[in-house]
Amino acid sequence: MEPNLVETKNKKLHLEVSGLGGWLVLVQIGLIFTTINAILQLINTSIPSLSNETWTYLTSKQSLQYHPLWGVLLIFETIVNALFFILSIYVLIAFYQKKANVPKLMINYYIASFLLGLVDLALIYQIPLSRELDEGASFRATIRSFITCLIWIPYFLNSQRVKNTFLK
């Protein structure tokens, strides 16, 4: 018995949906943006905050702005920005090489981004000056990261394009 025309067309459509087009274009843009943002954060914020003057101003018990978590926050943010810069480049390379581990990498990437954002938010909100300077930006970034997880994790788990591009 031969498959009917509808079944044949459906199978053909599923096989043809592959490559780095479609919604994966948005993923690529997001990865490129994250890479650029992470290096800019390192250059403009993280590394300067570790300078002797800034470090002493925020972490010295004699300073008016002292808080015991400033050192933890500054080091944490520097490490996270460096890791996301490196991880973004690694994921982009795997992405363009269409490696089979890309869906798992992306899912873990989104989860890590959200969880590390939560830790950063918790640290920021423990330090009065940091909370004041942040003006809610970290909270908004954490909400965006959560929404990103809600959208892209199911996409990487269920998309026919993802399966055809990376898993076949």
Q: Does the residue 97 lie in any domain?
A: yes
- If DSSP states are collapsed to H, E and C, what string results for the chain? CCCCHHHHHHHHHHHHCCCCCCCHHHHHHHHHHHHHHHHHHHHHHHHHHCCHHHHHHHHCCCCCCCCCCHHHHHHHHHHHHHHHHHHHHHHHHHHHCCCCCHHHHHHHHHHHHHHHHHHHHHHHHHCHHHHHHHCCHHHHHHHHHHHHHHHHHHHHHHCHHHHHHHCC
Q: Does the residue 75 lie in any domain?
A: yes
From CA 103, how far away is CA 101, in angstroms rounded?
A: 6
pLDDT tens-place string over residues 74-94? 999 999 999 999 999 999 999
Q: Does the residue 100 lie in any domain?
A: yes
Contact 61, 104 (CB under 8 A): no
Q: Which domain holds residue 57?
A: 22-166
pLDDT tens-place string over residues 10-35? 555 455 788 899 999 999 999 999 99
What is the torsion angle, in degrees rounded to the nearest 10, for the CA atoms of residue 100, residue 32, residue 113 and residue 166? -10
Number of domains forming the structure of the chain: 1
Q: Does the residue 6 lie in any domain?
A: no
How much is the average pLDDT of 58-64? 93
Q: Does the residue 143 lie in any domain?
A: yes
Contact 99, 166 (CB under 8 A): yes
What is the torsion angle, in degrees rounded to the nearest 10, for the CA atoms of residue 146, residue 149, residue 154 and residue 156? 170
Q: Does the residue 3 lie in any domain?
A: no
Q: Does the residue 12 lie in any domain?
A: no
pLDDT tens-place string over residues 89-135? 999 999 999 999 999 999 999 999 999 999 999 999 999 999 999 99
Q: Does the residue 7 lie in any domain?
A: no
